[in-house]
Amino acid sequence: MSIVDTRTPNPKYFIAGATGDWEMVIGMEVHAQVTSEAKLFSGSSTEFGRPPNSNVSFVDAAMPGMLPVINDECVRQAVRTGLGLKAKINKRSVFDRKNYFYPDLPQGYQISQYKDPIVGEGKVLLDLGEDGEVEIGIERLHLEQDAGKSIHDQHPNMSFVDLNRSGVALMEIVSKPDLRSSDEAKAYLSKLRTILRYLGTCDGNMEQGSMRADINVSVRRPGGEFGTRCEIKNVNSVRFAGQAIEYEARRQIDILEDGGVIDQETRLFDPKSGQTRSMRSKEEAHDYRYFPDPDLLPLEFDDAFIDELAAHLPELPDEKSARFIESYGISHYDASVLVADRDSADFFESVAKGRDGKLAANWVINELFGRLNKDGTAVTDSPVSADQLGGIVDLISKGEISGKIAKDLFEIVWSEGGDPAKLVEERGMKQVSDTGAIEKIVDEIIAGNPDQVEKVKDKPGLLGWFVGQVMKQTGGKANPQAVNEILKAKLGLE
Ligand code: ADP
Ligand code: MG
C-alpha cells in the first residue's frame, strides 16, 4: 500500500529521548467477528460458550469433498460495516486461500480476501476533546474465516483442538498508519467498537475475543520518514492496547538511541509484565502462497443491493451526536459521552424529549451514569427509569425542588422507586419559594449574627455563609435564587 502522511505532528504527543524528540506511528488491523447465526461458509451455529466441538459441520472440519457456500448475511454485514465506515464498497471481490499449517486449521488454509477485498478506503472520525477531531483513514475491510483453538492446559502431555470457532466469519478492518499516540489508538478502538455495535455487525466484546487488534507500531523523528514497524498480535482490550503501544514505542526509541536498528517482527503483549516480547522475526514470516479459491466464485453484487442496505442503516454515532447538539442544545463533549453507547443515547433521548436538554444531559451524565458506574450496573438495568428521571428534571425545571433536594429525591427513587412528583408531595420536599417565609428566617439569622453582618460589608464572599444558614434552617428546601435576592437586599449588598 502506498502510505501518505495525512497528519501534522502534534508536539503534545512527542516523546522526549536522550537525542531529541520522537513521534509514534500506529496502524491497526482489527479482527471483528461478524454478528451472524451461522458461519461464513457453513450452516453451523456461532453461539459462544458451547461445549468444545459442538458447533462443527463437515465443512468446518474440512472433511474431504466438502464445499464452502457463502452465507449472504455475512456479506450484508460486511457491506453495512463498510457503509458505516463511509467506505468504498467493491461490487466485485475475490476469496483467496491463505495457506499455512496449524493444528487448529483443518483445511490447511484460511479462506480470506487478498487483492480484491469487499470494502475499500473509508474513515473513522475521532473526537479528541480539546485537541479537536481527527480523521483516521481505513485502508480496507475484508472477510475471512476464523481458525479453531488449540488448548494446551488441560492435559500434561496432550493438546486439544476446539473447532467451534473454525469457519466463523471475521471482518479484518485495516487502518492507515494515521494514529500518533496511545490515546488516539485507544480512541480509535473504542470508536470502531461503537460504530460496529450501532450497526449490529459485531458485538465488540473484546473479553470474549469477538474483537481483537493487531497493532503496528513504529517511531520516527517528528514528521520524518516512517520507521520500521513491529506488529503486536491479538491485543484484546483497549487498556492493554494503550499499555502495549507505550511499552513498544519506548523499547524502539531505546534501541534507536543506542545506535541499533529495529527488526520488523511480530510481538506479543504480556499484560502481567506490561511488556512486549518477540514472537517471530521477518525471516520467519510465513509465505502464504495466496491464490483465488477455486471453490468459490468472485462475489458480485449491484448498486440496488448496496442501496437497500444503506437505506436501512441505523443513525450512527457521529450523526446522532450532531443531532443531539442541534436539537437539545447540549455541548459537544456531553454529546460525545452520550452517543458512545447506543443504550445511553436512547436513555438520554427519552429523558430529554420535551424537556430542558442541558439539564437532562447533566442529570443523565453526572447523576445517573455516575451512580450506575459506582454500582457497576448497565444503563439498561438502571433502577431509575427514563420516565422517573424525566419526572425529577420536570420538578427542577418548574422550581418545585432545588438541585440539592433533587439529589436526595434521586437517591430515594434509586433505592425505593416511586413517582418523583408524588414523593415530593408525600415527604414535604417541596422548595420554599414563599418569600415571606424566607424573609422571616433571614431576619432571624441577621439578628442573631451581628459580627458576620458587620464583616459581610467588606467581604461579600461571606454571603455564602448566610445562604448556608438559611438552607440549614429550611432543610435545603429554600429556593436558592430567592434566598440570594432577599439576603442581598437585607444586607445592603447591592
Ligand atoms: P501487511 O500486508 O504486512 O499486513 P500493510 O501494509 O497492509 O502490511 O499494513 C498493515 C498495518 O500496518 C496497517 O494497519 C498499516 O497502517 C500499518 N503500518 C504500515 N506501515 C507502518 C509503519 N511504518 N508504522 C506503523 N504502522 C504501519
Ligand atoms: Mg496484515
Q: 423-436: string of b/e by CB count within 10 Å (b at 16+)?
A: bbeeeebebbbeee
At residue 434, does pLDDT exceed 80?
A: no
Ligand lying closest to the C-alpha of residue 173: 1
* Rounded mean pLDDT, 134-162: 96
Q: Atom 5, ligand 1: which residue's CA is nearest?
A: 1
Handedness of CA 416, 417, 420, 422 (dihedral sign): negative
Q: pLDDT exceeding 70 applies to what percent of the chain?
A: 99
Residue 479 pLDDT = 80
Residue 493: pLDDT band (50, 70, 90) is confident
CATH 1.10.10.410 describes domain 435-491? yes
* Rounded mean pLDDT, 157-173: 97
Centre of ligand 2 from the C-alpha of residue 15, in Å = 27
Q: Which of 43-57, 382-396, 454-468 has the lowest mean pLDDT?
A: 454-468
Q: Atom 19, ligand 1: which residue's CA is nearest?
A: 177
Coil/strand/helix, residue 216: strand
Centre of ligand 1 from the C-alpha of residue 177, in Å = 6
Name the residue with higher pLDDT: 480 or 248: 248
Predicted confidence (pLDDT) per residue in 215-240, tens digit: 999 999 999 999 999 999 999 999 99
At residue 95, does pLDDT exceed 60?
A: yes
Q: Is the CB of 249 under 6 A from ligand 1?
A: no
Q: Is the CB of 29 under 6 A from ligand 1?
A: yes
Centre of ligand 2 from the C-alpha of residue 234, in Å = 12
Q: Is the CB of 4 under 6 A from ligand 1?
A: no
Predicted confidence (pLDDT) per residue in 349-389, tens digit: 999 999 999 999 999 999 999 999 999 999 999 999 999 99
Q: Is the CB of 214 under 6 A from ligand 1?
A: no
Centre of ligand 1 from the C-alpha of residue 244, in Å = 17
Predicted confidence (pLDDT) per residue in 58-87, tens digit: 999 999 999 999 999 999 999 999 999 999
Q: Atom 7, ligand 1: which residue's CA is nearest?
A: 1
At residue 348, does pLDDT exceed 90?
A: yes
∠ CA 142-146-152, nearest 5°, is 150
Atom of ligand 1 nearest to the CA of 175: 14
Ligand lying closest to the C-alpha of residue 174: 1
At residue 1, does pLDDT exceed 60?
A: no
Q: Is the CB of 483 under 6 A from ligand 1?
A: no
| Neighbour-count burial of 63, counting CB atoms closer than 10 A to its CB (0-12 exposed, 13-18 middle, 19+ buried) | exposed
What is the pTM assigned to this prediction? 0.88
Q: Is the CB of 176 under 6 A from ligand 1?
A: yes
Residue 478 pLDDT = 83
Segments making up each domain of the chain, as ranges = 11-308, 315-426, 435-491
Largest CA distance in the chain: 99
**Please, where are the H alpha helices in 49-177?**
72-84
Predicted confidence (pLDDT) per residue in 180-219, tens digit: 999 999 999 999 999 999 999 999 999 999 999 999 999 9
Ordered strands of the 109-112 beta sheet: 109-112, 96-99, 291-292
Q: Which of 150-164, 362-376, 454-468 has the lowest mean pLDDT?
A: 454-468
Atom of ligand 1 nearest to the CA of 1: 6
Q: Which of 2, 174, 182, 230 to mutate to test the pocket of ligand 1 (most atoms within 8 A of CB)?
A: 174
| Neighbour-count burial of 163, counting CB atoms closer than 10 A to its CB (0-12 exposed, 13-18 middle, 19+ buried) | buried
* Rounded mean pLDDT, 127-145: 93
In what helix (H) or strand (E) does residue 92 lie, and over which residues does it extend? strand 92-93
* Rounded mean pLDDT, 139-161: 96
At residue 2, does pLDDT exceed 70?
A: no
∠ CA 100-105-110, nearest 5°, is 60
Predicted confidence (pLDDT) per residue in 268-312, tens digit: 999 999 999 999 887 777 899 999 999 999 999 999 999 999 999
Handedness of CA 202, 205, 206, 208 (dihedral sign): negative
Cell of residue 423, nine digits: 414523593
Residue 427 pLDDT = 85
